[in-house]
Structure 1
Amino acid sequence: METKTRNYYAVKVTGGQEVNVALMLEERIRTNNLKDVYSILVLPRLKGYVVIEAGGPHVIKLLITGIRHVRGIAPGLVPKDDIAKLIAKRVAGPSVKEGDLVEVVSGPFRGMQAQVVRYDQAKGEVVLNILESAFPLQVTMPVDQVKPSKRS
């Protein structure tokens, strides 16, 4: 049985058009019945590029010819290790727990002290009680917008 090579190629696209280009590529794959394209990756941390897993550069050239917003193929292959790093789930922000005192580092409450009321690790959000407010004020924000200041 013949094993086909699968390599990752980075295709340069206009910034912000990654998803649109991926959808157009998918449509071309379906209409032309291309069997040597295995996946199309749009990575949120990789702006201006769409990564395509295919059998060879000739398949990529055939696929991207005439597609709007495509700027060309980046030279070389994208290593599988780099793809794994880019699609691996990142640990979200600092470790906080209920009752911790934190400082807000971005957003409208930047620089204010707050106490963690609730931490939803699945959503990556914290509910904070802003301590410097004249009245009780609870806000929900991403955990990466706070940094621990003191444990209580």
Structure 2
Amino acid sequence: MEASKVRNFYAIKVTGGQEMSVAIMLEERIKTNGINEVFSIIVPPALKGYLIVESSGPHVVKLIISGIRHVRGIAPGLVPKTDIMNMVSKKPTGPAIKTGDMVEVVSGPFRGMQAQVMGYNAERGEVVLNILESAFPLQVTIPVDQVRTVKKS
């Protein structure tokens, strides 16, 4: 029997914070029952409380989620493919950070502290900072998305 060529994306409502564990349970159920009409399970990091399942139909999704703990049901309607592509495509990192810029750390253990950029590695997406509010010279390397430019050099 030929597999169905229809591929739709369905949003599954789950308990917040349990997205990854539910995805693993769904994967195990799919493998053990030999269900070949589920093509992917997406755990979007920006969408808390939801999983996206790519399947041939809602009947397959209902079959795999029935009885799974932390699953709250299927969200009505389909998730458009363009939304999925926006979730999974790599966004170009374009913060114009240069050595000497003044920044504020917006997350992590140094949140709220002012710092000066000592170096920027665009390949790895990391920035080397000199924390100005410490009593001694303190250099840290953190992801560039954890800083916000305050003043250009």
Q: TM-score, normalised by structure 1?
A: 0.85
Structure 1 position 126, deviation (Å): 1.1
What secondary structure sits across from 1:81 in the alignment?
helix
Please tell me the residue identity of whatever aligns with 2:112.
R
Aligned match of 2:28 = 27
Structure 1 position 128, deviation (Å): 1.2
Unaligned runs of 5+ in 1: none
What secondary structure sits across from 2:120 in the alignment?
strand
Distance 1:131 1:139 in 2: 11
CA change 1:79–1:141 in 2 (3 A) is same
Structure 1 position 132, deviation (Å): 5.0
Contact (CA 8 Å) 1:18, 1:48: kept in 2 or not? yes
Structure 1 position 94, deviation (Å): 2.5
Contact (CA 8 Å) 1:9, 1:74: kept in 2 or not? yes
What secondary structure sits across from 2:130 in the alignment?
strand
CA change 1:132–1:29 in 2 (3 A) is closer
Alignment deviations for residues 63-97 of structure 1 (CA, whole Å, 9 cap, x no partner): 11111111100000000000011112234472212
Matches within 5 A, 1:104-143: 104-106=105-107, 108=110, 110-112=112-114, 114-131=115-132, 133-143=134-144
- Structure 1 vs Structure 2 CA RMSD: 2.3
CA change 1:76–1:96 in 2 (3 A) is same
Query: Percent same amino acid among aligned pairs?
Result: 63
CA change 1:103–1:26 in 2 (3 A) is closer
Does residue 6 of the first structure (1) align with residue 7 of the second (2)?
yes
Distance 1:134 1:68 in 2: 50
Structure 1 position 22, deviation (Å): 0.8
Please tell me the residue identity of whatever aligns with 1:143.
V
What secondary structure sits across from 2:98 in the alignment?
coil
Aligned match of 2:82 = 81
Q: TM-score, normalised by structure 2?
A: 0.85
Distance 2:105 2:65 in 1: 45
Structure 1 position 13, deviation (Å): 0.6
Aligned match of 2:147 = 146
Aligned match of 1:69 = 70
Unaligned runs of 5+ in 2: none
Alignment deviations for residues 29-85 of structure 1 (CA, whole Å, 9 cap, x no partner): 111111111111111111111100000011111111111111100000000000011
